[in-house]
């Protein structure tokens, strides 16, 4: 039997019991849930990742909804437990949900919420930061200074890569990939090559327009190219940033053979999902090619790194912080809470999950709708919600 986990309770007399498996940034999300008549229980146990058994104990015998995290394994066992406890609402505090068995949730009549629309710029900025840190060897130089090794300026000290005028490759030109591309193109006048199953007309038009602007100023225009294969991107780009979804087709998308196609001094960035890269193969490639650099926010066996990665000076590694800006994390908490609160109240699903801004304005009450439910169609949930309808 699992031990009782520590929780902090808001609105003890609330009609609907909602559990959050982790404390989340900000307080607005708590206020929205309590205003909807919910008793909010936040797990404060000093444990980074809760087990299935832990979460079952939190659900207990009566629970209307749960806000979970992407580090948790939400499958048949947990959704069956939530249904048995009378619950019918769950939300991941993440835009991705590869930790969630959506079919199992649907079988148990439970909605699965996610938090799109607030991570785009923040994640793209972190990918850009990793690019710069790798290109200019910032972490190596920082370590060098802190170790007291700097004795004066040397022409060959930490020589890195110039980004201006080089080619940036983007694999997955969705919202985050396109935002990253725009940052690198406008910030460093890089040319673009991208691969995506779908044509990114908006991104192409943006690069074309920016190229025309540069020409009008008698500067060299930027260019774009849509690649027909991932291999084409890897072979041509000086920097490659990965932004695909994680599924069977993208697992180990970057493997030993594809790494070998990249330029010897290329930079590889991943702020999407860890298993997109064969991390063991990457470690060997970094060892064999000391001028090849990588910036990683995610890892194949998170929170662990493959052996040897931590020792490599040509790898910049950070602990899954792509969404870790105050505005974004508080926005994610707000959307997750509203996915649960609105479902409990019987409100419809918001008509446009790509536009969640009406839910994020702290100076007004949010619409009467669930911001984003990924299995709304399978559950037959109503689609609706208008900006003038408030919670």
**pLDDT single digits (tens) 81-114:** 999 999 999 999 998 898 999 999 999 999 999 9
Q: What average pLDDT does this structure show over 22-32? A: 97
Q: How far apart are the first and last CA of the chain?
A: 39
Whole-number pLDDT of residue 385? 66
Span 9-19, mean pLDDT?
98
Residue corresponding to tokens 């404060």: 44
The pLDDT value given to residue 388: 43
Active site residue 320: yes
Rounded CA-CA distance 115/101 in Å is 17
Average pLDDT over every residue of 353-369: 92
Please identify which of the residues 140, 186, 265, 302 carries the catalytic annotation: 302
Q: Are 322 and 122 in contact (CB under 8 A)?
A: yes
Run of H or E residues at 54: helix 52-59
What's the pLDDT band for 389 if we cut at 50, 70, 90?
very low
Q: Which is it for the CA torsion 294, 296, 299, 302, positive or negative?
A: positive
Q: What is the DSSP string of 244-268?
A: PPPSTTTTT-B-HHHHTTS-TT-EE
**For position 387, what pLDDT does the model report?**
46
**pLDDT for the residue numbered 4:** 87
pLDDT for residue 106: 98
Q: What is the percent of the chain where pLDDT is above 90?
A: 94
Q: What is the pLDDT of residues 240-256, one digit of tens each?
A: 999 999 999 999 999 99
Confidence of residue 283 (pLDDT cuts 50, 70, 90): very high
pLDDT confidence of residue 2? 55
Give the pLDDT of residue 111.
98
* Catalytic pick among 273, 285, 293, 329: 273
For tokens 């000391």, the residue is 290
Q: Is 302 a catalytic residue?
A: yes
pLDDT at 96: 87
């Amino acid at each position: 039997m699992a031990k009782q986990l520590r929780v902090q309770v808001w609105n003890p007399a609330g009609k609907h019991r909602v559990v959050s498996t982790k404390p989340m940034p900000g307080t607005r999300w708590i206020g929205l849930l309590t205003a909807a008549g919910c008793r909010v229980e936040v797990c404060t146990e000093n444990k980074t990742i809760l087990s299935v058994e832990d979460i079952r104990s939190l659900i207990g015998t009566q629970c209307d909804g749960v806000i979970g995290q992407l580090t948790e394994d939400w499958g048949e066992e947990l959704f069956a437990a939530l249904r048995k406890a009378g619950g019918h609402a769950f939300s991941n505090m993440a835009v991705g949900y590869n930790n969630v068995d959506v079919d199992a949730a649907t079988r148990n009549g439970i909605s699965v919420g996610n938090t799109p629309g607030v991570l785009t710029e923040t994640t793209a900025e972190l990918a850009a930061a990793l690019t710069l840190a790798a290109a200019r060897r910032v972490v190596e130089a920082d370590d060098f200074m802190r170790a007291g090794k700097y004795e004066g300026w040397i022409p060959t000290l930490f020589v890195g890569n110039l980004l201006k005028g080089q080619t940036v490759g983007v694999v997955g030109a969705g919202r985050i990939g396109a935002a990253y591309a725009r940052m690198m193109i406008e910030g460093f006048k890089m040319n673009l090559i991208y691969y995506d199953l779908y044509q990114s007309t908006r991104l192409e038009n943006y690069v074309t327009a920016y190229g025309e602007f540069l020409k009008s100023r008698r500067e060299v225009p930027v260019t774009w190219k849509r690649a027909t294969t991932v291999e084409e991107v890897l072979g041509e780009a000086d920097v490659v940033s990965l932004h695909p979804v994680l599924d069977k087709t993208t697992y180990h998308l970057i493997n030993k053979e594809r790494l070998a196609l990249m330029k010897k001094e290329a930079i590889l960035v991943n702020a999407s999902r860890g298993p997109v890269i064969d991390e063991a193969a990457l470690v060997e490639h970094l060892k064999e090619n000391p001028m090849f650099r990588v910036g990683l926010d995610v890892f194949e066996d998170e929170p662990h790194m493959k052996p040897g990665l931590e020792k490599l000076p040509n790898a910049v590694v950070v602990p899954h912080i792509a969404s870790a800006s105050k505005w974004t994390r508080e926005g994610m908490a707000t959307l997750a809470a509203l996915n649960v609160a609105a479902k409990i109240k019987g409100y419809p699903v918001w008509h446009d999950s790509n536009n969640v801004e009406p839910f994020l304005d702290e100076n007004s009450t949010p619409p009467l709708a669930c911001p984003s439910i990924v299995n709304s169609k399978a559950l037959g949930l109503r689609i609706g919600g208008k900006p003038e309808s408030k919670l």
